[in-house]
Structure 1
């Protein structure tokens, strides 16, 4: 299998590319910077993926579109500015003959919702980030339907890592601890979310893309709601960070749901099939 991965230099991209390579998949990696990996199955390209033109002889078996900027700045207008560029790029790939398209989505495209998020949960996003992701999903879904292309929308929930990379709250806590800070300003911590460690997150993305029997919206998640404060307290203890949470310093965001988590039945079915195949 050969997969074209965009955003290969990003926070998720590097872990996903490494997993694909470990599985013996050929990877054409595109990013604004090198992804920092070396492997005989890896072909790396540095540049603006929006300018990439595919030739028939070089078509990958699948496109995995991870590229996205300012993902942690939900109200940044760059999301709306970039939306037509993302769609135009994916459209060029489909019209060139790519038969399998997978795109990274986000729980934020759902908007305010209390409870489990299923494939048919209505989406009512209110931030530029959520609106743009949701619009790209709708556009690509119809595009792939018209061209009879396998389409997977990989809806990511909360990604957890202890390496301090990126701009997530976990990265910020690790960075604050490394700077010797005793407290980390925090919200109420009562909202419940769906958390997934980095390695498991990348493994689920790769498992989904390496097959086509299960398509559509696939939640990349644990399927379990846990209070943010409770989870981070455990994260701090597990990683011996020596920092405490200063609850109530920041208000909860008005568009954050009191409890939201993903239905993980589709990804679990994919993982079960994979384990059965590898057994």
Structure 2
């Protein structure tokens, strides 16, 4: 638990990851402002203050969330649609939001990044791994990651938390695991699949929420780091385990789809920094 609970704002609190970050921060004793889109039907942890707002609108005023010390920025449109035009068209709005939050007194920002900033890479990703993104999603995220250290004042502690292959709470995701559940719902017994040979760093959404909450309190930890397990597993093994654990009456049709050209044979996050943060409690 944190020794100095304070007000923490979580953007994207109604998305896939957001509720788990909100819950983890509340568990640590913080007063959490959960920011969701106007009209959102998502449920909010009863311990949090719910704020409906379009945070990327030009007229949004960060004073709407009150006197906050920390900001966890998760909000991002079309995160599962890697070449959506929204990534580039909204980039400046994300930049404006975070710089205005800093000007309003936020002293700790944890921004969610992605492995797709790196592009094609084989092996462990560290903070020093060069980036060469191959999608609009990766390009936009990497541009924001590079810009913020140049734009934020020295009074702000910034952590850029790269996420990897998130699973769990699968009905609310847009991952292959949700697609499998929906295929079973539709009565299908075969699921078209890739080769499944690629190695990824899989992390449960609840654990990622706890990592981001702990990182919010670790204000001395700055720069780019990985929120990950550090353990690479074949996609096929993870999916087959999901099918078995949930007793799904469906089989994978290997090779029905080609592997994406920007996915490496094996990539995972070096988790040394986040393991140290989590060990603090």
TM-score (norm 1): 0.93
Q: 1:238-249 maps to which residues of 2 (within 5 A)? A: 238-249=245-256
Aligned equivalents of 1:253 and 1:38: distance in 2? 37
Query: Does residue 43 of the first structure (1) align with residue 46 of the second (2)?
Result: no
Aligned equivalents of 1:13 and 1:143: distance in 2? 26
Aligned equivalents of 1:123 and 1:163: distance in 2? 29
TM-score (norm 2): 0.92
Unpaired runs of 5+ in structure 1? 275-279
Unpaired runs of 5+ in structure 2? 1-5
Query: Which structure's residues are more often helix, by fraction?
Result: 1
Q: Where do 4+ consecutive residues of structure 1 move more than 4 Å?
A: none
Q: 1:186-197 maps to which residues of 2 (within 5 A)? A: 186-197=193-204
State the 1:56 CA deviation. Answer: 10
**CA deviation profile, 1:64-105 (whole Å, cap 9, x unmatched):** 110001111101111000101100111111112211111010
Q: 1:128-207 maps to which residues of 2 (within 5 A)? A: 128-144=136-152, 146-207=153-214
State the 1:190 CA deviation. Answer: 0.6
Further displaced range: 15-24 or 63-72: 15-24
How many pairs were matched up?
Answer: 272
**CA deviation profile, 1:118-171 (whole Å, cap 9, x unmatched):** 011000002100000000111112223x43310011100000115322211111
Q: State which of 212, 215, 222 in structure 2 corresponds to 1:208.
A: 215
Change in CA separation of 1:44 and 1:223 when aligned onto 2, cut-off 3 Å: same
* Structure-2 residue corresponding to 1:251: 258
State the 1:218 CA deviation. Answer: 2.2
Aligned equivalents of 2:217 and 2:181: distance in 1? 33
